[in-house]
Structure 1
Amino acid sequence: MLSQYSHTVPDCTAGYARGGAALTVTWAGCEDEVRAAQRLRYRIFGGELGARLPGPARESGLDADRFDPFCDHLLVHAASATGQPLLVGTYRVLAPDGARRAGGFYSDAEFDLAPLRALRPRALELGRSCVHPDYRNGGVILALWSALGRYMLQRRLETMIGCASISLAGGPEAATAIWESLHPRYLAAPCWQVRARHPLELGSPRVPTAEPTARFAPDTPPLIKGYLRCGAMLLGPPALDRAFNTADLPIMLRLDDLAPRYRKHFLGQH
């Protein structure tokens, strides 16, 4: 079962040239394309990052869960030497109607999102962001975000929420340092702050939180930096995701808060 939006997303194809690579952005329109996204997700999360995915995922080589049928799946392809487009990036997008049919957002299992209740009718959830290791120069993420901006305008949506993950492969110290460096500047107002259902036990960071003049702590994931530069806010301390062995920071970006330098790129003339 595909999301009802998979065949009705207007202006679904766009071309980009980033870092010397020609990129094409589309929305998945068939089961095979969703499976390709799930295969890339499995490669990144299960193979590269060591997530403890369930047995069916290991057997199939697909990262799939119960939310996928209710989501729209955004894909970025690059030209390859074989002539066949290579899938190099993906996001899944859970729009308000899909969330209602799914019984909520994926993030509801990690956080008490009650403070965001008033925003939910015009909010989408982003998840499962991943980029092929050979294409992590920022171009793929920019192409994905441009498509997301058009998607939100077409549906009159105002808010993006989601979880940004920090690997715990080396222990919780790096995640602690990142949180301590970011929350003084980027923590949302109290009315928007959420509570983690399984909080990460924060300890004493063993790496510097940041230089006094630095904006981000060492080892802050590029995706988190990108969200915050765009105008996103942290909604509270990280949750522990045992299956993916990550610290998950709750993040929210409202289009009204989009930084001016990104507004035209993501929203065109709007």
Structure 2
Amino acid sequence: MLSLSRGRYAARPAAGPEDLRRAQELRWLAFREGRAEGGASGLDADAFDAICTHILIEEILTGVLVACFRFLPLSGGGEIGRSYSAQFYELSPLESFAGPMVEMGRFCIHPAWRDPDILRVAWGAMTRHVDEAGVEMLFGCSSFHGTEAEAYLDVFAMLRERHLAPPRWLPRVKAPNVFRFAQKLARRKPDAKRALIQMPPLLRTYLMMGGWVSDHAVVDRDMNTLHVFTGLEIRAIPAGRVRALRAVAG
């Protein structure tokens, strides 16, 4: 399940506590380095780690962990209150979604690695699970580094203009500190080139496949991020993109 090798990289499920610790170390490096007192290293860990499946992506030759993510399967929208995202978004509109769902979270790539094949292998692994489990929706929080919305106004303007969730699924505000970009940027025309440069790679991939986002971003000072709820209905993925993903998933 979810194990595959492509080119320089291999994806596999965490096999035990040591693998989980390695993932938590990488997450700390990606999300929290530089914010710990005295520059000390640590682990990024929370209560959701115990109920999620963790995927490691390693360089085959060296065994170096270059990326990781976790996922939480749900039988349908009636279980969405169990998700990590439900801490930050009021998700009752999605409770009526009938098919199997998966929340994908804590995705990160080692800061020293820039190879786009890493992201392809990650999506190949998730595609294999989606096909095997009959998943009908992927969702999660897509994160921007830092908490200053002004740094990403063109991205948010593009999200408002092109990628808002359908009204029937649109998450509502729950977190105490949010940036309501759909309201605040109603008259702003995005600079598309700048927006694509600034957009997180994971979010860009979701949107290329037909994904959509919430109409507001949550300011998460604990993780030093802004994030938007992101959903992707599997049946909405263009046929060509499905073929490309399945070619990686093998």
Pick the TM interval, shorter chain. 0.7 to 0.9
C-alpha distance 102-249 of structure 1, shift in aligned 2 (>3 A): closer
Report what 1:14 is aligned to.
4
What is the SS of the residue equivalent to 1:67? helix
Residue 228 (str. 1) matches residue 214 (str. 2): no
- CA distance in 1: counterparts of 2:162 and 2:79, whole angstroms: 36
Report what 1:167 is aligned to.
145
Amino acid aligned to 1:86: V
Amino acid aligned to 2:241: Y
- CA distance in 2: counterparts of 1:183 and 1:259, whole angstroms: 21
What is the SS of the residue equivalent to 1:174? helix
Query: Given that residues 80 and 94 in structure 2 are in contact (C-alpha distance below 8 angstroms), is that contact kept between their aligned partners in structure 1?
Result: no
- CA distance in 2: counterparts of 1:202 and 1:102, whole angstroms: 23
Residue 188 (str. 1) matches residue 174 (str. 2): no
Q: How does 1:246-261 map to 2 (within 5 A)?
A: 246-261=225-240
Q: Percent identity?
A: 26
- CA distance in 2: counterparts of 1:101 and 1:201, whole angstroms: 27
C-alpha distance 123-134 of structure 1, shift in aligned 2 (>3 A): same
Which residue of the other structure, out of 7, 10, 26, is the alignment partner of 2:12? 26
Query: Given that residues 32 and 224 in structure 2 are in contact (C-alpha distance below 8 angstroms), is that contact kept between their aligned partners in structure 1?
Result: no
Report what 1:42 is aligned to.
28
C-alpha distance 121-257 of structure 1, shift in aligned 2 (>3 A): closer
Q: State the superposition RMSD in angstroms.
A: 3.1
Amino acid aligned to 2:45: A
C-alpha distance 196-242 of structure 1, shift in aligned 2 (>3 A): farther
Query: Given that residues 186 and 233 in structure 1 are in contact (C-alpha distance below 8 angstroms), is that contact kept between their aligned partners in structure 2?
Result: yes
Q: How does 1:95-174 map to 2 (within 5 A)?
A: 95-96=73-74, 104-119=82-97, 122-168=100-146, 171-174=148-151
Q: CA deviation at 1:103?
A: 6.4
Q: CA deviation at 1:118?
A: 2.1
Q: TM-score, normalised by structure 1?
A: 0.79
Q: CA deviation at 1:119?
A: 2.3
For structure 1, the 5+ residue unaligned runs are: 1-9
For structure 2, the 5+ residue unaligned runs are: none
- CA distance in 2: counterparts of 1:192 and 1:95, whole angstroms: 19
Deviations 1:168-206 (A, max 9, x none): 35x22023432112221111211110113124235878x
What is the SS of the residue equivalent to 1:157? coil
Deviations 1:204-234 (A, max 9, x none): 78xx9633x6593552222221211121111
Amino acid aligned to 1:210: P
Report what 1:239 is aligned to.
218
- CA distance in 1: counterparts of 2:246 and 2:110, whole angstroms: 25
